[in-house]
Structure 1
Amino acid sequence: MIVKEVLLFLLISGVPKVHSANYDRDRDCPAKGVSHPCSCTPVAIDCINRAIVGIPPAFTKTNWVFEKVDLSQNLLTRIPARAFQYVNVSKIILSNNNISSIEPDAFQPLQDQIKVLDLRNNKLTFLPEVLGKLHSLNVLDVSYNPIQYMNFTDNVMRELGDFINEFHFGDDNLKGWPESIHHLQMLRILKFYGGSNEMDRIPITAFKGFEWTLEKLWMQNTQLIAVPIALQDLKSTNELHFDNNVHVGDAGILIPAFAGLTDKLEVMSLENNSLTTFPSVLLTLRQLHNLSLARNNLQFVSDQAVSVVGSNLTTVNLQACGLDRIPGALSKLEGIIDLDFSNNKITTIEKNDLQRMVNLQRLDMSENPLQYISRSTFYDLKRLQNLTLQETELYLVPYAITNIPTLKTLDLTSSDTYIECNCDLNWLYCYTTHNNTGLTIIGDCETIQMGIDRYARTRIPSVCPKIC
């Protein structure tokens, strides 16, 4: 009897309509019409770089739930009330505009569903109060806005502290560290950029309030003269990106600053900090497995200096360090899986280079003036899968690859093709046919309009003497 009554009710009232799981451009995109400046995909409303000066650009209401609306690289100067009332998104991108003001009701009726708000590179001079009303906000980026430290107001930062876990801030004219940042007591990711010449250090209490929650920290493009001592208070940070701080130098990598991170830090980037050697602090970081020292002047680094590197490293980036050889001491780091030597000054790879690197899987030697690779090298690289030799001066396919039974990809791509393809590559045909059928060689011949891989597999057996 009950079932019959339910069926009768449905027939009378009608079954509620269910939104289709299939996206329909004409029906579901709020940016309708051929003249509309925006376009849609099933996940995004794309309004990037369309010379838009005002919001909304003739949006129409639909029920489709998008991930984001992207209005970056436009000419917006203000965000008016209810600017996004006809879009259904959780992520709003407004970076690279000229926004100087945001109305108190700008994000109605989305205030309880916005999770990411990107206001990078605008003209804001203070934190708008409306930000404190976005109670689902997880990620806020206000970096490269001319907001001075006293304009990170207590009332807004206190509101943000109840829910935000990722915060980006800073500007080249910032004169001090905002004390109100201690309100962000749920912060897991902090990205700080810039700072004026007056800001060559930050307070020892800079991370107070989130010292137990912060997991990842970026401090880049600053005028700092040393790694902040405030780091020593961080209890949970496993990733540090301290890059492009050109006034730091070797003396600025302070060992006491890392006192609380010796058993926590797993990833560290010290790129372009005017270093000339491997910092001694590396010996204290027992859990470090990913290290980048790219774009430092390590040209005259000694093997003894390399010896401070911990044995737990699996990824090392020494890109653009002015190296003219492969430091021999790296051979003791048998756990390395990924090694980047690209864009250096290395001309040869000798027999004893890369010895004992038995776990190495990826090696990048691209953009070096590399002319010679010993036939006797690579013997210990029994797990190497990817060897990148792009933009070098090699004119022969290196015979040493026959020492790498696991090699899957050899990349010899070059804008100035040097590789000579002739019957001297008989060995390559024999090797790929009988020993390593899974190897793919990327790059072109100089002497014939054909790829090296295709030449070795098809041309050689048809025109060259068979010597296998």
Structure 2
Amino acid sequence: MISTAVKNSSEQIHTIYLLNNNFTYIPDDYFKSLHNLKHIWLEHNCIRNISDSAFRGLESSLTFLDLSDNQLTTVPSALRVLNHLETLNLQQNPISSFDPYAFKGVSKSVLELSIDLGLFSTWPEELSLLQNVSLIQLQEMNFSTVPDEAFSNWTQLHRFSLWGTRLEVIQRALCNVKSTFDLYLFFNTAIQSGTNLFQTCNKSSSSQPFFNRVVLNGSNLKRISNIITSFPEMTYLAITNNPLLGFISNEEVPDNSNLTILVLRNNSFNRFPEALQNLPNLKYLDLSYNHIQSLQRHDLDGMTQLRSIDLNNNPLQYVSGDAFNAAVLLSNIGFQSTNLTTIPQALSSAHSLRVIYFAESPIECSCSMLPWLDAWVQGLGNLYGNCENENTHLSDFITKQLPNCTY
């Protein structure tokens, strides 16, 4: 229960933490004396029921309510009076229904919502009532389709996250979102790329959805399908932790894409994807944690805007002497935890290079290292890594010991 001391200080209290108290029930007028309360944390309890008038007195003050990790089976009607509620977290509750009045009062105020839908067999229409939601996170959806009009009221959407759903394709319901937003898909293992990963929009839709960024993490993708071709205005794409993804075709990467950041971390590429040459606006490329063994002469052709490339944690053994000729703006390279045993001479043509990582790569330092290294490292901002066979930093060996070698 809320202590007398707390009640006597009600004017000054704006936030209250009631975590891990084993509450099972919130009675009428529980917070009534705290009429300036803005934030309530009630997660990690055992709450099964919330009285209809539990939040009476907070109609004009409460903006944040966290009810995650409880035992609620329905979205409670007590929410209906919270006309200024902006953030609502209902995750990790066995919710299987909405009280018909629950969202009546908050449909215009809620900006951020998180909820598990694992016990729903179809899309809950109550979610479509939200008019100003900007961030929504849905987890454990057990249905595989969403009505085309499900998101049409979400005109202020900025971020949409789907975790652990059974969706097999990205629904055309997104076509009816009237704002530009970020789409995050985490561990939706039913997603498998066929001809079209994103459902095409109906002719009645005003346009394709506009994404700032798309993240697909932990799916079963074998191909990237129509992700890039469908959304050429997208600037950020991350496809990570897909153990079946090891190839990208030229047809999947059109040359009209605005992509500037591409993250392909922890997939199964065993060579540099040639199709990436079709991305002339690309500035940052992450291919870390793949199986790439070599960087060939023409791999970076066309990437004239590339500033950073991350090849960390690949079994990289060979870098062609001409590998960086086209990447004239390249300033940051990651060769950390590779199988390289020498500093590639190709780096001498990367005239904008400022930072390079060799940490945990078995670089052998000896007088056989070419004289160009001395002049090259002088203009380098930061060189990270150690000599495998010497107890010294790479840059120290190049600047202090290499000059003593005779050639």
For the aligned pair, the TM-score class normalised by the smaller chain equals 0.7 to 0.9
1:16-95 maps to which residues of 2 (within 5 A)? 61=9, 74=20, 76-78=22-24, 80=26, 82=30, 90-95=38-43
User: Would the aligned equivalents of 2:130 and 2:154 in 1 still touch at CA under 8 Å?
Assistant: no
CA distance in 2, matches of 1:203, 1:157: 19
Change (3 A) 1:169 1:337: same
User: Would the aligned equivalents of 1:262 and 1:287 in 2 still touch at CA under 8 Å?
Assistant: no
CA distance in 2, matches of 1:58, 1:412: 59
Partner of 2:330: 384
What is the CA distance between 1:441 and its match in structure 2?
1.5
Q: Output the amino acid matched with 1:119.
A: L
Change (3 A) 1:453 1:126: farther
User: Would the aligned equivalents of 1:353 and 1:377 in 2 still touch at CA under 8 Å?
Assistant: yes
Partner of 2:68: 120
CA distance in 1, matches of 2:343, 2:160: 43
Q: Output the amino acid matched with 2:166.
A: Q
What is the CA distance between 1:94 and its match in structure 2?
4.2
1:465 aligns with 2:400: no
Partner of 2:146: 202
CA distance in 1, matches of 2:221, 2:113: 28
1:249 aligns with 2:197: no
Q: Deviations over 1:268-292 (max 9, x none)?
A: 2233332222223532323111122
1:335 to 281, 288, 294: 281
For the pair shown, the structure with the greater C-alpha radius of gyration is 1
Judging by fraction of residues, say which structure has more strand: 2
Change (3 A) 1:305 1:450: same
What is the CA distance between 1:165 and its match in structure 2?
1.7
User: Would the aligned equivalents of 1:132 and 1:157 in 2 still touch at CA under 8 Å?
Assistant: yes
CA distance in 1, matches of 2:390, 2:34: 59
Q: Output the amino acid matched with 2:149.
A: T
What is the CA distance between 1:391 and its match in structure 2?
2.1
Q: Please report the TM-score for the alignment, with normalisation by the length of structure 1.
A: 0.75
**Which range moves more in the overlay, 129-138 or 217-226?**
129-138
2:270 to 293, 318, 324: 324
2:80 to 126, 132, 143: 132
What is the CA distance between 1:138 and its match in structure 2?
1.3
Q: Deviations over 1:282-333 (max 9, x none)?
A: 3232311112222335645253344347421111121122111111121121
Partner of 2:212: 266
SS in 1 for 2:362: coil
Larger RCO, structure (CA 8 Å, separation 6 or more): 2
1:154 aligns with 2:100: yes
User: Would the aligned equivalents of 1:237 and 1:261 in 2 still touch at CA under 8 Å?
Assistant: no
Partner of 2:392: 450
CA distance in 1, matches of 2:18, 2:352: 47
SS in 2 for 1:245: coil
Count of matched residue positions in the alignment of Structure 1 and Structure 2: 400
CA distance in 2, matches of 1:239, 1:143: 21
Partner of 1:222: 165
CA distance in 2, matches of 1:91, 1:403: 56
SS in 2 for 1:160: coil
Identical columns (%): 24
CA distance in 2, matches of 1:282, 1:321: 17
1:141 aligns with 2:89: yes
What is the CA distance between 1:97 and its match in structure 2?
4.5
Change (3 A) 1:457 1:139: farther
Specify every segment of 5 or more residues in structure 1 that has no aligned partner in the other structure, as ranges: 1-53
1:288 to 218, 221, 234: 234
Across the aligned residues of Structure 1 and Structure 2, the Cα RMSD in angstroms comes to 3.3
1:184 aligns with 2:166: no
Q: Deviations over 1:345-379 (max 9, x none)?
A: 10111111111211111211112111221222111
1:398 to 331, 341, 344: 344
Partner of 2:377: 432
Judging by fraction of residues, say which structure has more helix: 1
CA distance in 2, matches of 1:219, 1:140: 16
User: Would the aligned equivalents of 2:77 and 2:100 in 1 still touch at CA under 8 Å?
Assistant: no
CA distance in 2, matches of 1:407, 1:97: 53
Change (3 A) 1:88 1:176: same
1:166 aligns with 2:112: yes
CA distance in 2, matches of 1:189, 1:108: 26
CA distance in 2, matches of 1:232, 1:179: 18
CA distance in 2, matches of 1:253, 1:109: 48
User: Would the aligned equivalents of 2:82 and 2:105 in 1 still touch at CA under 8 Å?
Assistant: no
Change (3 A) 1:347 1:145: same
What is the CA distance between 1:146 and its match in structure 2?
0.8
Specify every segment of 5 or more residues in structure 2 that has no aligned partner in the other structure, as ranges: none
Partner of 1:50: none
CA distance in 1, matches of 2:11, 2:406: 68
Q: Deviations over 1:111-134 (max 9, x none)?
A: 544333333333221223333333
Change (3 A) 1:449 1:110: farther
